[in-house]
Amino acid sequence: MSSQNLQGRVAFVTGGSRSIGAAIAKRLANDGAAVAITYHGSPERAAAVVDAIKVEGGRAAAIRADAGDATAVRAAVTEAVRMFGGIDILVNNAGIALGGPIDEITEADYNRMIAVNVTGVFVATQEAVRHMKSGGRVIHIGSSMVRYAAFPTASLYTLTKGAVAGFNRSLVRDLGPRGITVNTVHPGPTDTDMNPDGGPVSKIVGPGMAIGRYGKPEEIASVVAYLSSPEAAFVTGADIVADGGFTA
């Protein structure tokens, strides 16, 4: 059910065309926010997210921007501000997972992962907070793998998500005096395009799920919705693990 506690707010969600990003965009819109999402390779899915929000009476727009292209990310933030008049909530959701044994990871894959999962987060944050006022929210989507790496070949992915967690902690000191909170949500195994329930990874990690199932994108979105809300004004610098007890 919609609380409409984000009425009059503007959210910018990177990688909002599918899976967790799409669920976050829809939930924030359902709570009253105008939502701008970025996408790169899935224009049809981005359009579907926007249409779903508009059908429910919300405001939304999709902006094409490769999360690994700093210039494109900055331009997307500028465009969102032009469309909706500002940014109050930034959700750094865009991310990719390229992996393999440490001695086989290519420099090209390393550079691409850093560009999307680290540089993209930094640039989106730097640009968005220039438009934020007191009460702003910065929310990163990390990974429970920074606490527990359940399988091999994910060292590069975990490196990037660990960087985001460290960025979160220091950013709190920069933005706290401005009344802007900064938090990271660390999803555990969740049914997404990258890691579908029933896929190869689920056969490895599934038995470790304390509640006996994968998470749903909407369940991660509910945590983001709370952190975006007025009720979370005193929550900053937090690493919130939403993983069904996987790392307990």
Contact 31, 232 (CB under 8 A): no
Active site residues: 157
Domain count, the chain: 1
Residue 53 maps to which CATH number? 3.40.50.720
Residue 15 lies inside a defined structural domain of this protein: yes
Alpha carbon distance 38, 203 (integer Å): 31
Domain range enclosing 123: 10-242
pLDDT at 202 over 70: yes
Residue 1 lies inside a defined structural domain of this protein: no
Residue 247 lies inside a defined structural domain of this protein: no
- What's the confidence (pLDDT) of residue 150? 81
Each residue's pLDDT tens digit, 23-53: 999 999 999 999 999 999 899 999 999 999 9
How many other C-beta atoms are found inside a 10 Å radius of the C-beta of residue 108?
Answer: 9
pLDDT at 220 over 80: yes
Across the chain, mean pLDDT equals 96
- Whole-prediction pTM value? 0.96
Each residue's pLDDT tens digit, 113-154: 999 999 999 999 999 999 999 999 999 999 999 999 888 999
- What's the confidence (pLDDT) of residue 80? 98
Residue 3 lies inside a defined structural domain of this protein: no
Contact 219, 243 (CB under 8 A): no
